[in-house]
Structure formats: C-alpha cells, structure tokens
C-alpha cells in the first residue's frame, strides 16, 4: 500500500507540500477507493507540526462498506440504443475485470453530460438526461439508474426533414 500511496499523493513526486497537492491527493485516494468498490469512501488530510522541522501530513481514510454495482439501468431513450449509450458511460456494472463495477458521483455526472452531448450533437436540443440516483441494497450491492428523455429532433435547416 505504501508504493500505491506514493503514486496517489503528488507530494512525493513534487517534493513539496501545498494545499493544491494535498487536495489532489485526497481526490486521488478517494477515486482509487471508489474504483475498489468503496463508493462511500471519505478522505481527509491535515498537517501536524506545520512550519516545524518535523512537519507531517496525515491522511484519514474511512473506506465505508464495500459495494458492487449490479446493474446500470437506462430508461426513456428512444432514438439511441442502450448499448450505444453504455459505450459512452463510465459507470459500469461489476464484471470479470472490475468485480465491484465502477461508480462515483463524478462519474455519474460525466455520464449525464456525455449522454446529453450525444443527443444535442444529433439535433435533440431539448434532450434531458437525469441521474435518478443510486440504490444500496441490504447486502451492500448498488444499482445506478439514469433516465433519458429524447425530446424532439430539431432540423438544422427548414428544408431538411428528419424521420424518427
């Protein structure tokens, strides 16, 4: 774990300590734990003995319970297939390569943005993708849900006709 810590916390590479590097370390550790299935991980950092010869950085990590994404459900899409939308998504259900799946609030936000951008790039200016939340089951399993509302395709020029 010590070698992993050196990769996750940039103060080792930079050889200096500042708030930006510490915050980046917190973010990196949280992302790593979320990739391992600890989706509720909380990471905090504090300085001990600041401005002294024995200055220390202490990361406090609460992994929380381990989860597994059992399903990523997409509903409401009519124009694009589920498979096409899933290709663009970063949240994935558990599989042989990623046993716990992949989930974090920032990945869900990126997925929502990606799906909306795909629809808008194809003329669906009113398309809306909504994160309907994540449900945690009693056994620690997690289900992530997205809802897509296609809207109406806008013709770029009045002479163009689109059929859906």
Q: Which domains does the chain have, with CATH numbers?
A: 2-62 (no CATH), 68-149 (3.10.20.310)
Residue among 154, 142, 76 at smallest CA distance from 115: 76
pLDDT digits (tens, 9 = 90+) for 63-87: 988 888 888 877 777 888 888 888 8
Which position has the token pair 């006709």?
A: 161
Which two tokens mark 89?
A: 């998504």
Per DSSP, the three-state class of 128 is: strand
Rg of the chain over all Cα atoms, to the nearest angstrom: 21
**pTM for this predicted structure:** 0.67
Task: Please name the residue ranges forming H helices in the chain.
Answer: 2-8, 11-14, 19-35, 82-87, 105-121
pLDDT tens string 109-163 = 888 888 888 888 888 887 777 776 665 554 555 555 556 666 555 444 433 333 3
């Amino acid at each position: 774990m010590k070698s992993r810590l050196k990769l996750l916390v940039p103060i080792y590479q930079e050889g200096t300590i500042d708030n930006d590097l510490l915050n980046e370390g917190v973010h990196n550790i949280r992302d790593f734990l979320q990739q391992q299935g600890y989706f509720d991980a909380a990471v905090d950092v504090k300085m001990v003995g600041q401005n002294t010869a024995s200055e220390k950085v202490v990361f406090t990590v609460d992994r929380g319970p381990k989860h597994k994404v059992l399903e990523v459900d997409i509903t409401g899409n009519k124009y694009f297939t589920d498979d096409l939308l899933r290709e663009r998504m970063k949240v994935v259900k558990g599989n042989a390569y990623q046993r716990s799946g992949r989930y974090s609030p920032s990945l869900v936000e990126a997925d929502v943005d990606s799906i909306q951008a795909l629809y808008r790039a194809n003329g669906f200016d009113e398309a809306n993708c909504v994160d309907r939340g994540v449900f945690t089951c009693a056994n620690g399993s997690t289900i992530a849900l997205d809802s897509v509302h296609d809207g109406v395709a806008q013709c770029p020029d009045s002479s163009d006709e689109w059929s859906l």
